[in-house]
């Protein structure tokens, strides 16, 4: 999948997936992580409980491959039920498949199911907001 997202055929997957590349804090190894995303106000939102986010280094941009192009992106981690609810609603609206992986769905009113969200937060789920530098 990583090779496809970096190739000219990236259009097959780029509407829903991108690669976030991080360097391990302890190992120094490079990890290229395919992740689902949603777009909002010039930013890319990634919901995750995966460990790659722990390798984000404060004050340093992260490298992403998005829409077939490699770029740097500034980032912030969003956690906490009130702070994460709206970004997660956007993610689930644009990429409903993500909800099956995260165990979070939208209620009848189109809002994030708060009980499911609390359970996901308990499993370490956060939203990483990425701002690609070329989008500014």
Q: 7: which DSSP letter?
A: S
> 77-130 pLDDT, tens per residue?
999 999 999 999 999 999 998 899 899 999 999 999 999 999 999 999 999 999
Domain limits for position 99: 2-135
**Domain CATH code at residue 112:** 2.30.110.10
Count up the domains in the chain and report the number.
1
Model confidence at 2: pLDDT above 50:
no
| pLDDT of amino acid 15 | 66
| pLDDT of amino acid 126 | 97
CA nearest neighbour of 75 among 134, 128, 25? 128
91 phi and psi, to 5 degrees? -60, -50
Helix 81-94 vs helix 114-122: angle between axes, to the nearest 10 degrees? Answer: 110
Which two three-digit tokens encode residue 53?
Answer: 């986010």
Taking the CA atoms of residue 48, residue 6, residue 61 and residue 96 in that order, the dihedral angle to the nearest 10 degrees is: -30
> 18-62 pLDDT, tens per residue?
999 999 888 999 999 999 999 999 999 999 998 899 999 999 999
Q: Tell me the average pLDDT across 4-10.
A: 48
Burial class (CB in 10 A: 0-12, 13-18, 19+), 84: buried
């Amino acid at each position: 999948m990583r090779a496809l997202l970096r190739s000219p055929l990236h259009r097959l997957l780029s509407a829903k997936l991108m690669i976030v590349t991080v360097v391990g804090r302890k190992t120094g190894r490079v990890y290229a992580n395919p992740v689902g995303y949603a777009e909002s106000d010039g930013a890319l939102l990634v919901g995750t409980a995966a460990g790659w986010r722990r390798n984000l280094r404060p004050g340093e941009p992260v490298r992403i491959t998005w829409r077939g192009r490699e770029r740097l992106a500034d980032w912030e981690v969003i956690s906490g039920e009130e702070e994460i609810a709206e970004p997660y609603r956007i993610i689930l609206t644009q990429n409903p498949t993500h909800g099956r992986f995260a165990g979070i769905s939208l209620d009848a009113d189109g809002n994030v199911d708060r009980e499911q969200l609390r359970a996901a937060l308990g499993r370490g789920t956060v939203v990483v907001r990425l701002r690609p530098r070329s989008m500014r």
